[in-house]
Structure 1
Amino acid sequence: MRAALLHSAREEAGQLIADARRDAVAVIAGARAQSEALLREARLQGEAQGARDAEAALAQARREARSELLRAKAQACDDLHRRVVDHVRNLRWEETYPAVRDRLTQRARRILGSGATVADHPHGGVVGTAPGRATDLSLDAMAARALDRAGAEIESLWKT
């Protein structure tokens, strides 16, 4: 009887070990499948995040490039304005300037009336005043107006 019980216990132990091995193989296979699925998901999320990060970096680079371009355009416009004003101011030293000044004085009086007060501007040209009205025919103001009128032409410089 003892031998039979021992034999039965061994068979049962063998069966339990075999069942445990099958369960272990199934658990390991499930764990591998789950880890592979998690790895795939993590990879997909990483790729998606990388794509979002790349798009954000690209958008930031575009904003910075646009900002730099706008700064360069503004600097070029400022330089052009300064050079034009300097050039126009130098007209004061030309021998034809007194005639230009006289025409500007006449224009100020046409705009404001014959009773207008007309005075020389420190940088050339004239300014006129009348009760409640004024006109600026200084060389600086005329250069600024000419640049404003040439705005579209100046803007075309950026497109070539």
Structure 2
Amino acid sequence: MGEIHAELARRVTERASELYGADPSIAAGLTARARALLGPEAQTSGHPAGGIRAVAADRLVDLGVPALAVRALESHGAAVEALWRR
């Protein structure tokens, strides 16, 4: 299942990247989320693969497309695993 999971993660990340690139308002939403997590002093920058990175003091928030895609996939782990077993 490792190869299947890796391929699914690649596809989810690819599609998320396409959606991110097609909608500039997503960056604003991610910036707002980063500041909500770290505070208004958070310094944000673009993630090389799309999305946002934010830093405040010694804390870092990775809201880059790859990290968000993996988190989304992991949050639906049981449902995704059930698809493999069909």
TM interval, short-chain normalised: over 0.9
1:77, distance to aligned residue in structure 2 (A) = 0.6
Note the alpha carbon deviations across 1:61-117, whole angstroms, 9 max, x for none. Answer: xxxxxxxxxxxx1111111011111111112331xx211100100110110010110
Alignment correspondent of 1:77: 5
Letter of the 2:53 counterpart: V
Contact 2:20–2:50 (CA<8 Å) still a contact in 1?
Answer: yes
1:159, distance to aligned residue in structure 2 (A) = 2.5
Letter of the 1:82 counterpart: R
Q: How many residues align?
A: 86
Q: Structure 2 CA distance, aligned partners of 1:86 and 1:159?
A: 24
Larger radius of gyration: 1
1:140, distance to aligned residue in structure 2 (A) = 0.9
Q: Aligned residues: percent identity?
A: 37
Q: Does the residue aligned with 1:106 lie in a helix, a strand or coil?
A: helix
Which fold has the larger relative contact order, with Cα–Cα distance below 8 Å and residues 6 or more apart in sequence? Answer: 2
Q: Structure 2 CA distance, aligned partners of 1:93 and 1:142?
A: 14
TM-score normalised to structure 2 length? 0.93
Structure 1: which 5+ runs fail to align? 1-72
Runs of 4+ in 1 over 6 A off after TM superposition: none
Specify which structure has the higher proportion of strand.
2
Alignment correspondent of 2:63: 137
Alignment correspondent of 1:86: 14
Q: Structure 1 CA distance, aligned partners of 2:56 and 2:21?
A: 29
